[in-house]
Structure 1
Amino acid sequence: MTIRWQSAIVILALLTLSACRPALEGPRLVVVIAVDQMRPDYLDRFDDRFTGGLARLLRDGAVFTDAYQDHALTETAPGHAAISTGDFPSSNGIVQNNWYDRSTHRTVYSFDDPAAPIVGIPDAPGRSPANMKTTTLGDWLKRRSPPSRVFSVAIKDRAAIAMGGKRPDGVYWYHTATGHFVTSVYYRPDYPDWVARFNAAEPAAGYNGTRWERLYPESAYAASREDDFAPEFDGRTTTFPHLIEAREDDGGWHGFYGGTFLRSPFADGLTLAFARDLVTNEQLGTDDRPDLLFIGLSAADYVGHAYGPYSQEVEDYYLRLDLQLDSLFVFLDQTVGRANYIVTLTADHGVMTMPEESARPGFGGTRASRRGLDSLVMRALATDSTAPTIAMSGGVVMDFPPGTSEQTQIDTRRAVATALRQSPAVLEAYASDELVAGPDSSRPYFDAYRRSFYPGRSADVMIVPREDVLITNSPRGTSHGSPHPHDTHVPLVFTGPGIAPGRHTERARTVDIAPTLAALLGVRPVGMVDGRVLEGVGSRE
C-alpha cells in the first residue's frame, strides 16, 4: 500500500472520529488581532478620541493592564510565536527574527524554508513554520476538531506564519515586491479563486497618489508632540500630509510596495479588507465547529519605527485603527453574529520613546552606536590566538575554530561579557554558560534572557542595554528589542460571549493567550506549555 493511500485512510479515520465527537461548545469564531509595536499607553492616551472598534474593546472587554511579552529579545517573530504557541522562545525556538547558524556560518531567517517556495513566485525565498519547535493554538484546535478552519494573515510573513502554526487551512502575507497577498507551497499549491481576484484588483497599487492627512485638525492632537520633529524618519519628510506615491527617485514601485505604502495606516486597512474577504469566502463562523482567525497588523510597526510613539503620525494611525476595527466588528456582527465570536487584542512588543524625545524633559535618553560595542569585543579578543569568528545577532555570536576546548570557549565568552559591561550603553552582559546554569532573579532581566535562550540559535553573550539607551547605527527613528517595560509591556483585551467586561490588574503574559483561548474553545494544548489560563477569562459560563 502506498504512503499516499495510507495517509488517505488515516485522514478518513480522523474525519470519521471527529464526526462522532460532540460539537465543541463556545464561540463559532475566535479572532486574534496582534498590532505590531502597540504600546498599552496608546489605549489610555487616546481613549477619549476612540469612538469605534477600540472603544468597543475597552468598553465591553476584559482589559489586562499589566500584560507583558515576558522574554528579553522583543522582536516580531518571537512576539507572535509566544502569542500563538503559549511558549517562550526558549521552548518554541523562535528566538529572534534572524539568528546565526554556526553549522552553515550564515544568518538564518526565522521562517526561511528553501523547500517551500512562494506560490507563483518561485524565485522568492521560501517560507514555512519548519523552524518552530512547538505547536500552536490552531494546531490544538485542528487536533480536537479537524473540520474547524484555521487561517492567519498579516503584512509580515513572520507574523502570519508564526501565528498560523503547523497545519492551518491557510496563511497569507503581503509580498513587498508585488503588493499582493501570497502563500507558500507548504500550505497549498495554488491560490483560491477569491485570493486571485483580490490580487488581480491591485488594491495596494490603488493607493498610489493618496495623501495621508490627519483625520482631525492639528490642534486635536494634544496627546502628541509637534509635527515637525527632526529625528523622525529621514529628517525631511516629517510632517503631514504624507504623499503615498511611487517615485523613481525612491525605488519606483518596489519602493512604494516595500516602503512608502507600508509606512501608512492604509497598509493595515488592506490587511483587514483581505481578512473580511477571507471570512466571507472561507465561510468562517458559519457552523457549530469553531474557527480561528489570526490577523497581524504590521504597518503599525513601520509607522512607529519611522515617527516614534509620541508622533502625530502614531496618534493618527490609532485613531484610524479605531475606525478600521469598527468596520471589521460590524462586518462580523452581520456575518457571524455578535454573540458568536470572541476577539483578543494584543501586541508582539512595544517600542522605545525616541531618545531625543526623552531627553527634552530631562529624563535622559541617548543613541549608542553598535560599532562601539563591536570595538569592545574585538579589543577583548585581540590577544587571543584562538579567537572565534564574530557575528552580532541578539548579542555576540562566536564561531569557534574546530578543536577549541570547552574551557577556552567558556573563558572567551566571559572575557567578552566583562568587556561589554564597560560600555556606558550596557547595563549587563550574560554569557550563555551563565544562562543555562539556572535562574537568578537577583540580576537584571536575567530570567527574561533565559526565556529568550535556545541552544544553538542564541548568542554566546547577550547584551542588556540601559533603559534610556537605544543601541543603533541610525541617527533617526526608534526601535525595540530590549527587556525593558517600554518594549515588553503590551495591551491585552478579551471580549465576546461569556467574558465579563472589566479591568484586571494582575500580571498577565502573552504566553497565557493561547491556553486561555484553548480553554474557551474547549480544547487542550498538545503537551505542556509555558503559559497558563487567565482566571476570569479562560472558562465558559
Structure 2
Amino acid sequence: MAGQPRLVLQITIDGLRGDLLDRYADNFGTDGFNYLRNKGVVYTNAHYLHANTETIVGHTTLATGATPSVHGMIGNVWYHADSGELGYNIEDADAPLLPTREHSAKGAQVDPAQKRARSSGRSPRGILAPTFSDTLKIATAGKAKIFGISGKDRSAVAMAGKTGTAYWYSTNNGDFQSSGYYMDKYPNWVNDWNGQDKAAQLADKQWQLLLDPARYVLGHQDDRPYEVDLKGYGRTFPHPFGAANHPLFFTRVLVSPEGDRLLLD
C-alpha cells in the first residue's frame, strides 16, 4: 500500500450521473476524466439510497456517507416546525457573511432556494453527522488543512464539514466569500485573489463551443423549450456575458466553464 497521501481531493459535480462519463467520452482528452478512469478505480454499481437529489442532500451524503435522515440535510429548503416557515438549508443568522468588495451592480438572485434565506449567514451547524473532513481532522490531531470551495455556498459548506473552512463564489462581485463561522476576517491571500477581479475581466466576452457542434452528443439540440434565458444570455451558443455591471453578469460567468476555471484558480 502506498504511503500516506499529502493531498486528498474530493470532487463533486452537481448533476453528473455515472453513465454520462461513457456517453460523452469521445470528446475527453488524455487528462481529466480519462486520467481518472484509466489510473483509478471506477465503481459501476454504486447507488445512493435517497430520492431527493437536490444539491445539499447529495453533497452532504457524499461528505458524510450517511443518509439524509441521519445527516439532517433533507432538502435545499424544508419546513421548520419551530418557526412554522420554510428555511434555507445552511442558513445561520449567527454566522453572518463576511463582506468582500463593493461592486457597481447588485447581483440578481436567480436561485429559488437562496431566496428563502432571511439572512446572509451560512454555517454547517445543521449537519448532524461527521464528514470525512471532520474525521480527517481528528485523525491527524488537527494538523490537516481542510478547505471546501464551490460556486454554491451549500456545496462548499457541506464538503468542508464543521472543522474545515468553506469559500464560495459571490454572484454580486465574482469574489470568493465565507462567513463568521469560519473566521473573523479574510486572510491576505483571499483578499489578494479577490483584488485581481478576474471574473470582471470576462466582461463583453462570451461562452463559445470548443468543438464543432456536430462533435457533441446533443449538439443538434442547442435550443430547447425548457432552457432558461438569463435575460440576454440566450438559449443558443454563443452565450454573451455582457457588461460587468449587469445584475446577472456574475451569474452568467458562474454557469459557464469560466466559473469552473475561476474555482480551480
Q: TM-score, normalised to structure 1's length?
A: 0.43
- Give the distance between the partners of 1:233 and 1:36, measured in 2 at CA: 18
**Aligned position for 1:29:** 7
Work out whether 1:49 is the aligned partner of 2:27. Answer: yes
Change (3 A) 1:148 1:25: farther
- Give the distance between the partners of 1:227 and 1:99, measured in 2 at CA: 34
**Residue of structure 2 aligned with 1:156, choices 123, 133, 152:** 152
Per-residue Cα deviation, 1:125-166 (whole angstroms, up to 9, x for no partner): 101011111111111111121111111100100000011111
- Give the distance between the partners of 1:84 and 1:231, measured in 2 at CA: 31
Work out whether 1:262 is the aligned partner of 2:254. Answer: yes
Work out whether 1:219 is the aligned partner of 2:230. Answer: no
C-alpha contact 1:246 1:255 (8 A) present in aligned 2: no
- Give the distance between the partners of 1:83 and 1:246, measured in 2 at CA: 37
- Give the distance between the partners of 2:160 and 2:125, measured in 1 at CA: 12
- Give the distance between the partners of 1:234 and 1:147, measured in 2 at CA: 46
Pairwise mapping of residues 201-212 of structure 1 onto structure 2 (< 5 A)?
A: 201-212=196-207
Per-residue Cα deviation, 1:197-230 (whole angstroms, up to 9, x for no partner): 1101111111121221111112222454332333
Q: Which amino acid aligns with 2:4?
A: G
Work out whether 1:136 is the aligned partner of 2:131. Answer: yes
Q: Secondary structure at the match of 2:78?
A: strand
C-alpha contact 1:94 1:110 (8 A) present in aligned 2: yes
C-alpha contact 1:178 1:254 (8 A) present in aligned 2: no
Work out whether 1:245 is the aligned partner of 2:242. Answer: yes
Per-residue Cα deviation, 1:99-148 (whole angstroms, up to 9, x for no partner): 11122111111111101011126x96101011111111111111121111
Change (3 A) 1:48 1:190: same
Pairwise mapping of residues 80-479 of structure 1 onto structure 2 (< 5 A)?
A: 80-120=59-99, 125-145=120-140, 146-168=142-164, 170-222=165-217, 224-234=219-229, 237-246=234-243, 252-257=245-250, 259-273=251-265
Q: Which amino acid aligns with 1:119?
A: L
C-alpha contact 1:46 1:223 (8 A) present in aligned 2: no
Aligned pair count reads 243
Change (3 A) 1:212 1:144: same
Structure 2: unaligned runs, 5 residues or longer:
101-117
C-alpha contact 2:27 2:215 (8 A) present in aligned 1: no
**Aligned position for 1:479:** none
- Give the distance between the partners of 2:207 and 2:153, measured in 1 at CA: 25
Per-residue Cα deviation, 1:326-367 (whole angstroms, up to 9, x for no partner): xxxxxxxxxxxxxxxxxxxxxxxxxxxxxxxxxxxxxxxxxx
Q: Secondary structure at the match of 2:9?
A: strand
Q: Which amino acid aligns with 2:88?
A: Y
- Once the two structures are TM-superposed, the CA of residue 260 in structure 1 deviates from its matched residue by 1.8
Structure 1: unaligned runs, 5 residues or longer:
1-23, 274-541
Change (3 A) 1:55 1:94: same
- Give the distance between the partners of 2:80 and 2:221, measured in 1 at CA: 44
- Give the distance between the partners of 2:217 and 2:127, measured in 1 at CA: 43
Q: Which amino acid aligns with 2:175?
A: H
- Give the distance between the partners of 2:170 and 2:214, measured in 1 at CA: 37
- Give the distance between the partners of 1:82 and 1:166, measured in 2 at CA: 15
C-alpha contact 1:213 1:242 (8 A) present in aligned 2: yes
C-alpha contact 2:168 2:177 (8 A) present in aligned 1: yes
Q: Secondary structure at the match of 2:8?
A: strand
Q: Secondary structure at the match of 1:99?
A: strand
Identify, as 1 or 2, the structure richer in strand.
1
- Give the distance between the partners of 2:163 and 2:88, measured in 1 at CA: 20
C-alpha contact 2:93 2:119 (8 A) present in aligned 1: no
The one of the two structures with greater contact order (alpha-carbon pairs below 8 A, sep at least 6) is 1
- Give the distance between the partners of 1:241 and 1:229, measured in 2 at CA: 15
Change (3 A) 1:79 1:222: closer
C-alpha contact 1:138 1:165 (8 A) present in aligned 2: yes
- Give the distance between the partners of 1:32 and 1:208, measured in 2 at CA: 31
Q: Once the two structures are aligned, what percentage of the paired residues are identical?
A: 37
CA RMSD of superposed structures (Å): 2.1
- Give the distance between the partners of 1:234 and 1:210, measured in 2 at CA: 17
C-alpha contact 1:45 1:223 (8 A) present in aligned 2: no
- Give the distance between the partners of 1:124 and 1:254, measured in 2 at CA: 20
- Once the two structures are TM-superposed, the CA of residue 46 in structure 1 deviates from its matched residue by 1.6
Work out whether 1:76 is the aligned partner of 2:72. Answer: no
